[in-house]
């Protein structure tokens, strides 16, 4: 009978999730927000369709573990080793500044030092599951703001372990310093031992299993590695999710990471959906109504404060303001690891009942609002270049100042983005005498461009005001060479509405981006994926002494087929 009740609860959860996510999709709202709303409705605090959420919590914890295992697979230890400097810099600034700011506000509000510091821990963490899911769905993980967001999230995830270990010290247990040192030593030893052993053992095990060509055995082995590594690391005092994340990093070091990720996706999506539903179950609508004012105030303070801190962190690291704003919106919520920390502190008195009644609903609501905020963040980020005071402070010319020079140009080329391609194009145009203007949101790029090619301005190319200032109405061509696919699409739409006959050329990375960009109004979309295929094909055929005319034919066929790709 218990099994039937458990099965019924699972059907109810997934059924409600399907219906609400379908409705959210119709209104172009994020699916993650729909799953959280489904949890609010079916949970014991809502319609009480499901009274006991303990079993759901267990499945949800497995879901988070699988989700973070997949994230670890996509990162790999080698990638983290290359990115450790930006991860440490951005993560340390964000976590440190957030804890300090929260501690100060909490102390002013009357909390003790221990409680104030612990609340700082809770607020400093963001939701890896929600944020990365949103960035992946929008294809922005490799965008500049996606990389900054990912670096901060990785630092936050690793910060959970010392935060959990600090709880006994905060509550003043006997010999806290000695206990903390012993536990920390055990944690470091176990994690280091697992990672070192896994780097040696896991590739050999996976190689042996792969040779059997049994897909079921391969999937089973991946699960054993994931759960086993997570269990070992969890025994050191870390959470199951952290253990799974490290397990993913271990498997990512092998040549079978892509197959492991492909086999994991179906399971990960189902269990991760349960996690988002379980988050919603913690929110009590009745309690929310009773404490609506303090909850809303706390929610606004958390989201605005965290977004501002991330924004400042990005500016300190000399990143573009658009990147800073998008990353700030993405990381403005309280995360699932904050709930892990909260449950680990139960019975310690670090958070009293009145604060708990406002903080937990505010945290869950911040998770609910984040997917919606991420979806609309590019619109908020438009027009950043209009902040003239800030551009003067950074000693670059804003697009508004271009009206005196670029605004009077005729038949010129507007180059959006001064990376390698933008630099080479600007130099070629300068060499042949074609007028041009460079627009970029990266302060360093603008400074370098001003020295190398001149006519470089700080501004957001997705803003209609910026396009007007650089003379889009009289320009012959707009060339977009930025790495953010959503910003590129928005820039195309804005430019096409502003100047219907403007020639718009776009560089993108993937063939799948061609159709939406053409629909938005681009005249010519050049995917790096296609050009890489052309270059590889031509060079391989040339080394095999194939006639140049035949090579040209093959390359032309590649370009033709790419236009027919869905």
525 phi and psi angles, rounded to 5 deg: -115, 125
pLDDT at 400: 47
pLDDT category of residue 56 using cuts at 50, 70 and 90: low
Please report the DSSP string for 24-54 in residue order: HHHTT--HHHHHHHHHHHHSTTTT-S----H
Query: CA–CA separation, 307 vs 372, rounded Å?
Result: 15
Query: CA–CA separation, 318 vs 191, rounded Å?
Result: 34
Residue 324 has pLDDT above 80, yes or no: yes
Q: Are 270 and 66 in contact (CB under 8 A)?
A: no
Helix (H) or strand (E) holding 415: strand 413-416
Best CA proximity match to 127, nearest among 344, 363, 298, 324: 363
C-alpha 469 chain-centroid distance: 32
Best CA proximity match to 314, nearest among 130, 482, 151: 151
Residue 386, exposed/middle/buried by CB under 10 A (0-12, 13-18, 19+)?
middle
Q: Are 378 and 50 in contact (CB under 8 A)?
A: no
CATH 3.40.50.720, the chain: domain bounds: 387-522
Residue 174 has pLDDT above 50, yes or no: no
Per-residue pLDDT, averaged over 352-380, amounts to 80
Tens-digit pLDDT profile for residues 261-292? 666 666 667 767 777 787 777 777 777 777 88
The token pair at 557 is 């066929």
Best CA proximity match to 167, nearest among 149, 156, 180: 180
In the three-class reduction of DSSP (H, G, I as helix; E, B as strand; rest coil), residue 507 is classed as: strand
List % helix, strand, coil for the chain (3-state, nearest 5): 75, 5, 20
Query: CA–CA separation, 206 vs 221, rounded Å?
Result: 8
Per-residue pLDDT, averaged over 65-87, amounts to 68
Residue 508 has pLDDT above 80, yes or no: yes
Helix (H) or strand (E) holding 505: strand 503-508
Per-residue pLDDT, averaged over 366-387, amounts to 70
Residue 139 has pLDDT above 60, yes or no: yes
Q: Report in angstroms the alpha-carbon separations of 183 from 164, 177, 187, 349, 543.
A: 11, 10, 6, 22, 60
pLDDT at 1: 47
**Regarding predicted confidence, which is higher, 334 or 86?**
334
- Looking up tokens 């699988």, which residue turns up? 66
pLDDT at 564: 58
Q: Are 507 and 526 in contact (CB under 8 A)?
A: yes
Average pLDDT, the chain: 77
Which residues, including other chains, have CB under 8 Å from residue 157's CB and lie 6 or more apart? 68, 128, 241, 242, 245, 337
CATH 1.20.1530.20, the chain: domain bounds: 54-379
pLDDT at 175: 46
What proportion of the chain, given as a percentage, has pLDDT over 70?
Answer: 75
Q: Report in angstroms the alpha-carbon separations of 469 from 18, 496, 504.
A: 47, 16, 17
pLDDT at 385: 47
**Regarding predicted confidence, which is higher, 35 or 562?**
35
pLDDT category of residue 32 using cuts at 50, 70 and 90: confident
Greatest mean pLDDT among 350-359, 404-413, 491-500 lies in: 491-500
Query: CA–CA separation, 123 vs 117, rounded Å?
Result: 10
**pTM strictly above 0.85:** no
Which residues, including other chains, have CB under 8 Å from residue 70's CB and lie 6 or more apart? 248, 261, 264, 265, 268
pLDDT at 406: 53
Tens-digit pLDDT profile for residues 36-45? 888 888 877 7
Q: Are 425 and 481 in contact (CB under 8 A)?
A: yes
Query: CA–CA separation, 236 vs 435, rounded Å?
Result: 63
420 C-beta neighbours (distance < 10 Å), count: 9
Please report the DSSP string for 167-204 in residue order: HHHHHT-SSHHHHHHHHHHHHHHHHHHHHHHHHHHHHH
Of the CA atoms within 13 Å of residue 202, those in its CB half-sphere come to 27
171 C-beta neighbours (distance < 10 Å), count: 16
Q: Which residues of 181-214 are buried (b: 16+ CB within 10 A; e: fewer)?
A: eebbeebeebbeebbeebeeebbeebeebbeeee
pLDDT at 231: 74
Angle at 30 between CA 24 and CA 34, to 5 degrees: 55
The token pair at 562 is 């790419």
Best CA proximity match to 536, nearest among 159, 524, 544: 544
426 C-beta neighbours (distance < 10 Å), count: 23
pLDDT category of residue 213 using cuts at 50, 70 and 90: confident
Angle at 139 between CA 309 and CA 336, to 5 degrees: 50
Q: Are 31 and 275 in contact (CB under 8 A)?
A: no
Residue 404 has pLDDT above 60, yes or no: no
pLDDT at 55: 64
| Domain at 54-379: CATH architecture | Up-down Bundle (1.20)
- Least reliable range by pLDDT among 67-76, 205-214, 222-231, 309-318: 67-76
With respect to CATH, is domain 387-522 assigned 3.30.70.20?
Answer: no
pLDDT category of residue 395 using cuts at 50, 70 and 90: very low
- Provide the Cα torsion 33, 37, 43, 44; round to 10°: 120
pLDDT category of residue 101 using cuts at 50, 70 and 90: very high
pLDDT at 53: 65
Q: At what angle do helices 292-316 and 321-330 cross, to 10 degrees?
A: 150
**Regarding predicted confidence, which is higher, 98 or 181?**
98
Query: How many angstroms separate the most distant Cα atoms in the chain?
Result: 82
pLDDT category of residue 102 using cuts at 50, 70 and 90: very high
pLDDT at 302: 93
Q: Are 476 and 413 in contact (CB under 8 A)?
A: yes
Best CA proximity match to 299, nearest among 255, 334, 338, 339: 334
Query: CA–CA separation, 535 vs 217, rounded Å?
Result: 39
């Amino acid at each position: 009978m218990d099994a039937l009740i458990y099965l019924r609860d699972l059907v109810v959860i997934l059924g409600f999730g399907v219906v609400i996510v379908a409705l959210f999709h119709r209104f172009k709202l994020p699916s993650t927000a729909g799953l959280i709303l489904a949890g609010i409705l079916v949970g014991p605090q809502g319609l009480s369709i499901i009274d006991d959420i303990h079993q759901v919590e267990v499945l949800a914890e497995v879901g988070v573990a699988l989700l973070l295992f997949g994230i670890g697979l996509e990162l790999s230890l080698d990638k983290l080793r290359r990115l450790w400097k930006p991860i440490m810099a951005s993560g340390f600034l964000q976590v440190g500044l957030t804890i300090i700011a929260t501690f100060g506000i909490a102390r002013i509000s009357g909390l003790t030092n221990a409680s104030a510091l612990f609340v700082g821990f809770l607020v400093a963490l963001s939701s890896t599951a929600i944020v990365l899911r949103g960035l992946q769905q929008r294809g922005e993980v490799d965008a500049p703001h996606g990389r900054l967001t990912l670096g901060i999230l990785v630092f936050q995830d690793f910060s959970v372990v010392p935060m959990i270990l600090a709880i006994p010290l905060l509550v003043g247990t006997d010999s806290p310093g000695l206990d903390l040192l012993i536990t920390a030593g055990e944690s470091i030893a176990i994690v280091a031992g697992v990672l070192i052993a896994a780097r040696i053992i896991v590739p050999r095990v996976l190689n042996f299993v792969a040779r059997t060509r049994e897909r079921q055995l391969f999937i089973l082995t991946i699960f054993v590695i994931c759960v086993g590594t997570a269990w070992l690391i969890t025994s050191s005092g870390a959470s199951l999710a952290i253990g799974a994340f490290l397990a993913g990093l271990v498997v990512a070091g092998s040549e079978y990471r892509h197959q492991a990720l492909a086999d994991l996706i179906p399971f990960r999506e189902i269990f991760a959906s349960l996690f988002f539903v379980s988050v919603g179950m913690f929110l009590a609508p009745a309690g929310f109504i009773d404490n609506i004012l303090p909850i809303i105030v706390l929610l606004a303070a958390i989201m605005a404060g965290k977004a501002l801190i991330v924004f400042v962190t990005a500016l300190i690291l000399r990143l573009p303001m658009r990147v800073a704003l998008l990353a700030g919106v993405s990381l403005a919520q309280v995360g699932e690891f904050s709930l892990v920390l909260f449950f680990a502190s139960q019975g310690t008195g670090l958070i009293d009942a009145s604060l708990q009644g406002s903080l937990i609903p505010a945290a869950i609501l911040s998770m609910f609002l984040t997917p919606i905020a991420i979806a609309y963040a590019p619109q908020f980020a438009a027009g950043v270049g209009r902040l003239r005071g800030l551009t003067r402070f950074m000693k670059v010319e804003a697009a508004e100042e271009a009206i005196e020079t670029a605004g009077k140009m005729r038949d010129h080329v507007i180059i959006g983005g001064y990376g390698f391609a933008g630099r080479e194009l600007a130099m070629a145009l300068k060499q042949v005498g074609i007028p041009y203007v460079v627009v970029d949101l990266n302060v360093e790029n603008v400074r370098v461009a001003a020295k190398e090619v001149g006519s470089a301005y700080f501004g957001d190319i997705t803003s209609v005001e910026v396009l007007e200032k650089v003379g889009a109405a009289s320009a012959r061509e707009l060339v977009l060479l930025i790495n953010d696919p959503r910003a590129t699409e928005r820039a195309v739409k804005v430019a096409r509405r502003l100047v219907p006959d403007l020639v718009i050329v776009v560089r993108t990375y993937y063939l799948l981006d061609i159709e939406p960009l053409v629909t938005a109004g681009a005249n010519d979309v050049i995917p790096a994926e296609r050009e890489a295929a052309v270059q590889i094909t031509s060079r391989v055929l040339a080394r095999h002494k194939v006639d140049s005319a035949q090579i040209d034919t093959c390359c032309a066929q590649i370009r033709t087929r790419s236009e027919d790709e869905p």
